[in-house]
Amino acid sequence: METITYLKSRVNTLLLMMFTMFMSVLNFAQETSAGGGAVTTEQKTTTTTEWYADPMYIIGGAILLIIIIALIARNGRSRA
């Protein structure tokens, strides 16, 4: 019984390795175009800025934080 489990494990490993190599060869073997000629593509570059790198969000967040701290401090004084 142990031999059958061992053989199944080895066969599965071999099949997985063969499948991986086949997919790798298939990916590298693809041509650039149907005619085999060179393909020219036009590339467009776009620049994006993350929201946290925009100074307006940083300033707005700082103002909102100051307002929240002031409201919390004001509520603390009125209860005393």
Beta strand spans in 1-80 (E) = none
Answer for the pair 39, 32: CB distance below 8 angstroms, yes or no: yes
Alpha carbon 51 to its chain's center: 17
Q: Which two tokens stand for residue 76?
A: 């603390």
What is the Cα–Cα distance from 9 to 2, expressed in whole angstroms? Answer: 11
- Report yes or no on 75 lying in a domain: yes
Number of compact structural domains in the chain: 1
Residue keyed to tokens 């103002």: 63
Domain of residue 74 covers 2-27+48-79
Half-sphere exposure of 8 (CA within 13 A, CB side): 5
Q: pLDDT digit of tens for each residue in the chain (80 aa)?
A: 788 888 999 999 999 999 999 888 888 776 655 555 566 778 888 877 787 788 899 999 999 999 999 998 888 765 54
Q: What is the pTM of this model?
A: 0.36
